[in-house]
């Protein structure tokens, strides 16, 4: 009778260990390549070895040993050990899933859903952070404000869907043109902003000219019934932090004023 009880505990333990393998395999698929993934693979191998060992132990107990109540300590410990492994792997998988979900939700709250760059909410927050950091450490800071030239004409000529594609195309061009430290965000409508930490006015002007030429030389090709090439240009206004600037909002306003001057001078140009 005790043999059957011991074997039953061992068999339940092996079933629980088998269930523990599923969250481990899910974790292997979810975590990035590297040391952590290798550790979870090693964990799956250990669990598989434990399963084999438990089954062998169960066969030995059932066929060759006559155990007493004191001998049940081993299978009971086995059983609770397997339960601990299952709870640990399940909780680890749930934790990773929750972290990924929270990260995705956070990314969605700070990302413009159309263009795929940061939104206005994130821009306002980072603008004040970078302004405060620049003031605290005395480092330069510049802001570029871009506006697509004659965007209304693009919408009227090619349709609003094509206008959205132009915005998406522009966002990709900007992301491929800036540094990792730079922040590009949608300010509103077809106006975009680039915050360039540790960048002087001269450096910002060079960046703006490079971006302007890059956009001008990379038109958007719309594939459809009739393949169309939409050539968009941008006007860019630049402002750099000065001792008289009170906050990030004022710096953005100065960049907006510079953008207005670029438009007044004929568009497809840079003004500071």
In sequence order, the β-bridge partners of residue 7 are none
Residues 6+ apart with CB under 8 A from 157: none
What per-residue confidence (pLDDT) applies to 54?
77
Residue 82 and residue 211: Cα distance in Å, rounded? Answer: 59
Sign of the four-CA dihedral 205, 239, 140, 107: negative
Which of 22-26, 50-54, 95-99, 101-105 shows the lowest mean pLDDT across its residues?
Answer: 101-105
Q: What are the pLDDT digits (tens) for 186-211? A: 998 889 999 999 999 999 999 999 99
Over residues 214-229, the mean pLDDT reads 80
Question: Active-site residue numbers?
Answer: 190
Token pair for residue 47? 């669990």
241/254 Cα distance (integer angstroms) = 10
User: Which residue, 84, 93, 91, 87, is CA-closest to 28?
Assistant: 93
Higher pLDDT, 76 or 250: 250
Determine the average pLDDT of the residues in 96-121: 84
Report the alpha-carbon distance of residue 24 to residue 89 in Å, rounded.
6
Residues 24-33: contacts with CB under 8 Å, at least 24 apart: 24/89, 24/93, 26/93, 27/89, 27/92, 27/93, 27/96, 30/93, 30/96, 30/97, 30/100, 31/96
* Token code pair at residue 93: 């998988």
The set of residues, in sequence order, having a beta carbon less than 8 Å from that of 210 and lying 6+ positions away, is 177
pLDDT of residue 210: 94
Q: Report yes or no: 272 and 241 within 8 Å, Cβ to Cβ.
A: no
**Cβ-contact 229, 206 below 8 angstroms:** no
**Domain(s) of CATH 3.30.70.270: residues in the chain:** 120-271
The CATH class of the 120-271 domain is alpha beta
Report the alpha-carbon distance of residue 238 to residue 25 in Å, rounded: 51
Beta bridge pairs of residue 195:
143, 183
pTM recorded for the entire structure: 0.70
């Amino acid at each position: 009778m005790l043999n059957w009880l011991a074997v039953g505990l061992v068999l339940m333990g092996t079933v629980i260990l088998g269930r523990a393998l599923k969250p481990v395999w899910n974790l292997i698929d979810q975590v990035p390549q590297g040391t952590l993934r290798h550790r979870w693979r090693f964990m799956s191998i250990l669990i598989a070895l434990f399963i084999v060992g438990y089954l062998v132990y169960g066969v030995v107990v059932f066929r060759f040993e006559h155990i007493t109540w004191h001998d049940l300590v081993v299978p009971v410990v086995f059983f609770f050990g397997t339960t601990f492994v299952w709870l640990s792997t399940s909780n680890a998988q749930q934790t990773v899933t929750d972290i990924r979900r929270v990260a995705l939700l956070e990314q969605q709250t700070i990302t413009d859903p159309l263009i795929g760059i940061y939104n206005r909410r994130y821009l306002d927050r980072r603008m004040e952070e970078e302004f405060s950091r620049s003031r605290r450490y005395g480092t330069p800071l510049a802001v570029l404000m871009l506006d697509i030239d004659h965007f209304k004409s693009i919408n009227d000529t090619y349709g609003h869907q094509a206008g959205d594609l132009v915005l998406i195309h522009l966002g990709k061009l900007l992301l491929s043109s800036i540094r990792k430290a730079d922040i590009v965000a949608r300010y509103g409508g077809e106006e975009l902003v680039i915050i360039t930490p540790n960048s002087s006015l001269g450096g910002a002007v060079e960046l703006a000219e490079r971006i302007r030429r890059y956009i001008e030389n990379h038109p958007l090709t719309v594939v459809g019934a009739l393949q169309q090439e939409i050539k968009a240009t941008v006007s860019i206004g630049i402002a750099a932090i000065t001792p008289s600037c009170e906050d990030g909002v004022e710096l953005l306003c100065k960049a907006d004023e510079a953008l207005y001057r670029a438009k007044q001078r004929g568009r497809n140009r840079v003004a500071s």
